[in-house]
Amino acid sequence: MNRIRFWLCAVAAMLATMLSLAGNRALALAPAATLTTGQVHLAPHRAVYDMVLERSKSNNGVRALTGRMVFEFMGSPCEGYTQNMRFVTRLTGRHGRETVTDLRTSSWEDGEGRRFRFNSSHYRNARISAVTAGDARRAATGGRVTVTLSKPKARRLDLPARVLFPVQHSIRLLQAALSGARVFQADLYDGSEKGEKVYATTAIIGDRLAPGANRELARIPNAERLDGVASWPISIAYYPEGTFSGEQMPSYELALRIYANGVTRKLLIDYGTFSIRGTLRQIEFFEPTDCGPARDKTGKR
């Protein structure tokens, strides 16, 4: 059960991370360090997903799982991006014992990926079990990243310059899709797992779905705003940093449909022995901030 709860916390942190292909062209690799093409405009929004157990092997201890995730994304390149999420699950183990997990996360990321502040609180059966808080800063020259953790204990980490923060990662992924790439690889730091872990990610980008494809999905209020937005089916594998190889199995995989404005639908999280499906049930869009030429990168005039 401890490993199952760890998995659920990891996937919640990972989801707080998210955000024209045609013909038979060969796979194109889009390295994070060199990809600069494609204009991405992320839509401020609040989305609610119902989470259910999709599949479970008999020996993994998961008999049933239901939950709900509420995700809010706000901000702009000039004022930075704020992400808030709450993910509550009710898990039934092999012997019928129920456990309720509640993960609450909040983060702010600079519009140019220079700084990333984060905190998260984990609750188990209404009792707090873990707290993580930290501040990651990228060197002014675009060099290494320094992470200062204040919780669960004070610690300093030095990460390589290639590491991306969550919104950075989402933007680069969308840039890869817009540029026609089929594969996107990058190292991700999102403050999960006590703020101590970097993941090597590999995303496989499917064929572009033209505007209008959203009409094929279940209709929910406000989702019609996605009808005019292109999207892509994407599968992202997450590996512990430094362990990726052609034969290495990922820690978990996330499949989803991502729209050009960063909204996601049709979530599927696969841990190998069990998987969880997320279905968008509610969505509300907010007006974006005007980042005119009179505003600087902090959002001030």
Q: Given this model, what pLDDT does residue 5 score?
A: 45
For residue 41, which of 290, 255, 211 has the smallest C-alpha distance?
290
* Distance between CA atoms of residues 180 and 261, nearest Å: 16
16 pLDDT band, cuts 50/70/90, is low
Q: Are 132 and 120 in contact (CB under 8 A)?
A: yes
Q: What token pair was written down for 193?
A: 């797992």
Please say if the pLDDT value at position 42 is more than 90.
yes
Q: What token pair was written down for 195?
A: 């703020």
Q: Given this model, what pLDDT does residue 272 score?
A: 83
Q: Are 26 and 212 in contact (CB under 8 A)?
A: no
Q: Are 85 and 47 in contact (CB under 8 A)?
A: no
Per-residue pLDDT of 115-132, as tens digits, reads: 999 999 999 999 999 999
Please say if the pLDDT value at position 14 is more than 60.
no
* Distance between CA atoms of residues 283 and 222, nearest Å: 6
* Distance between CA atoms of residues 256 and 233, nearest Å: 6
59 pLDDT band, cuts 50/70/90, is low
247 pLDDT band, cuts 50/70/90, is low
Q: Which of 105-109, 249-253, 261-265, 293-297 comes out lowest in average pLDDT?
A: 293-297
* Distance between CA atoms of residues 66 and 89, nearest Å: 6
> Which whole number is the average pLDDT over 9-27?
44
Q: Given this model, what pLDDT does residue 10 score?
A: 55
Per-residue pLDDT of 181-233, as tens digits, reads: 999 999 999 998 889 989 999 999 999 999 999 999 999 999 999 999 999 99
Per-residue pLDDT of 138-180, as tens digits, reads: 998 767 999 999 999 999 999 999 999 999 999 999 999 999 9
57 pLDDT band, cuts 50/70/90, is confident
Q: What token pair was written down for 207?
A: 């064929």
Q: Given this model, what pLDDT does residue 63 score?
A: 85
CA distances from 121 to 88, 256, 275 (A): 12, 26, 23
- The number of residues making up the chain comes to 301
Q: Please state, rounded to an integer, the average pLDDT across all residues of the chain.
A: 84
Taking phi over 0 as left and psi of -120 to 50 as alpha, with beta for the rest, 95 belongs to alpha
12 pLDDT band, cuts 50/70/90, is low
Q: Given this model, what pLDDT does residue 230 score?
A: 97
Please say if the pLDDT value at position 134 is more than 60.
yes
Per-residue pLDDT of 275-284, as tens digits, reads: 899 999 999 9
Q: Given this model, what pLDDT does residue 294 score?
A: 52
Q: Given this model, what pLDDT does residue 273 score?
A: 83
DSSP state of 75: E
